[in-house]
Amino acid sequence: MSKCNFNQQQGVALITVMLIVALIAILATQMTASLQLQMQRTSNIASNQQAYWYAMGAEAFAKNVLRQSLTDNTDVTHLGQMWAQGETSFPVDYGEITGEITDLHSCLNLNALRIASEEANNQGSKKTPVRSAFEELIIALNIEGIGSFEAEYMADALIDWLDANTSITGSGGAEDNDYAAKEFPYLPANNYLASISELRVIEHFNVAVIEALKAHVCVIPNSNIHKINLNTIATDKPEVLVALLGISQNEVIQALSERPEQGFASVDEFFELPVFSKAKITPEKKQQFVVQSEYFKLKTMASFNNSYFALNTIMKVDNKNNIGVITRTIGRE
């Protein structure tokens, strides 16, 4: 073999070795990157799981707070009780838990409109108190471009979304054909709302209306209960009472300012206030109110090592102060 051929073979061997080394280096880099990704993923899962258990711990704590608050006073639910402390934060190892309990009887339950259609038919097409209150609430919020006409149309569409039949309610009603004719067709639920955000897919509702309503309405899952607690309505949110009673906002604010620290002992005590001496509050309207609540909502945000977990829990308290979870929703509303 000539010296030239030997040198050529050495050169080819060297290039082959270099290629193999480069390939091994690439594979090692990819394996290291994949391993680091898997380790980070495992760490993230562990952090998310810990944040989840922090949130579940907050739920258990909230149950105890509610139970203790309502055990101390079984007949009246009011804002002076321990559960009504507003948003509260607790530091925990490598994170924080923030929670807030609200009374779902201090807002208008949108699912209560499910029975409005049947009741209206029984009363000769007369508007029910809950439907009238819903329309008046929308008007009272002073949303630009929204008046009584638009409020009536929204009430019609919401009732059609909730009721089990396919008959159109009023001029603003919408059923299968209306939603099926859209660019991206779908069908109405013909059942209870699961969330306030569901209003986005109901005819006539827009973002401005939904955002304005959020502070004054709520959704109690699978329940058309319509009972407003006079003791838990915030003084800075009088619009619900204005809509329900048909009186001025100043009168409502005055009545709420006279509320005792421990709340009204009865509905009659509220309506015996001097501000109502000239107001004509019918017995039918008074039946909408209570001084004791059974549905509550807990909003929880838990963090751990820069991982976050949001949980919304709706709880029901029975007459023996046993507390059960009705729904849990993950994520911010």
Are 156 and 171 spatial neighbours (Cβ–Cβ below 8 Å)? yes
Q: Answer yes or no: do 116 and 133 share one domain.
A: yes
Same domain, 119 and 193: yes
Do 99 and 63 have their domain in common? Answer: yes
What local confidence, expressed as pLDDT, does residue 318 receive?
A: 87
**Measured on CA atoms in the order 39, 45, 49, 50, is the torsion positive or negative?**
positive
Map residue 86 onto helix, strand or coil. Answer: coil
Answer whether residue 3 is part of any domain. no
Is residue 19, in this structure, part of any structural domain at all? no
88-92/217-218 β-pairing: unpaired
Domain that holds residue 92: 49-104+295-330
Q: Is residue 17 part of a domain?
A: no
- pLDDT at position 4, please? 60
Q: Identify whether residues 251 and 275 lie together within a single domain.
A: yes
Instruction: Work out the burial of residue 231: count CB atoms within 10 Å of its CB; fewer than 13 is exposed, 13-18 middle, 19 or more buried.
Output: buried
Q: Is residue 238 situated within a structural domain?
A: yes
The residue from 205, 220, 235 where one domain ends is 220
Residues 215 and 272 in one domain: no
Same structural domain for residues 86 and 119? no
Asked if 328 and 312 touch (Cβ cutoff 8 Å), the reply is: yes
Domain edge (last residue) among 200, 220, 240: 220
Give the residue ranges of DSSP H helices in 129-173.
Answer: 129-140, 148-162
To the nearest 5 percent, what fractions of the chain are helix, strand and coil? 50, 15, 35
CATH number at residue 130: 1.10.40.60
Could you say which of 220, 246, 273 is where a domain stops? 220
* 302 lies in some domain: yes
pLDDT of residue 9: 63
The answer to whether 203 and 178 are in contact (CB under 8 A) is yes
Give the integer Cα–Cα distance in Å for 331 and 310.
5
What is the domain count for the chain?
A: 3
Nearest CA-CA partner of 329 in 96, 49, 88, 55:
55
Residue 172 domain-assigned (yes or no): yes
Q: Does residue 138 share a domain with residue 216?
A: yes
Measured from the Cβ of residue 181, the count of other Cβ atoms closer than 10 Å reads: 8
**DSSP alpha helix (H) spans, the chain:** 3-72, 116-122, 129-140, 148-162, 176-180, 207-213, 239-245, 249-257, 267-271, 283-286
Structural domain includes residue 36: no
170 and 139 inside one domain: yes
Residues 156 and 236 in one domain: no
What CA–CA distance (Å, rounded) separates 94 from 302? 11
301: domain CATH number is: 3.30.1300.30
Tokens of 251: 């009168």
Q: 183 and 112, same structural domain?
A: yes
User: Has residue 40 been placed in a domain?
Assistant: no
Indicate whether 153 and 213 sit together in one domain: yes
Neighbours of 163 (CB within 10 A): 21
**Residue 119 shares a structural domain with residue 216:** yes
For 101, the 3-state DSSP assignment is strand
Please tell me whether residue 92 adopts helix, strand or coil conformation.
strand
pTM: 0.84
Q: From first to last of its 333 residues, what are the pLDDT tens digits of the chain?
A: 555 665 566 667 777 778 888 788 887 788 777 777 777 676 777 888 999 999 999 999 999 999 999 888 888 999 999 999 999 999 998 899 999 999 999 999 999 998 755 555 555 456 788 999 999 999 999 999 999 999 999 999 999 999 988 888 888 889 999 999 999 999 999 999 999 999 999 999 999 999 999 999 999 999 999 999 999 999 989 999 999 998 889 999 999 999 999 999 999 999 999 998 888 888 888 999 999 999 999 999 999 988 899 999 999 998 888 899 999 999 887
Q: Which residues contact 168 (CB under 8 A, 6 or more apart)?
A: 156, 160, 174, 175
* Maximum CA extent, the chain: 122
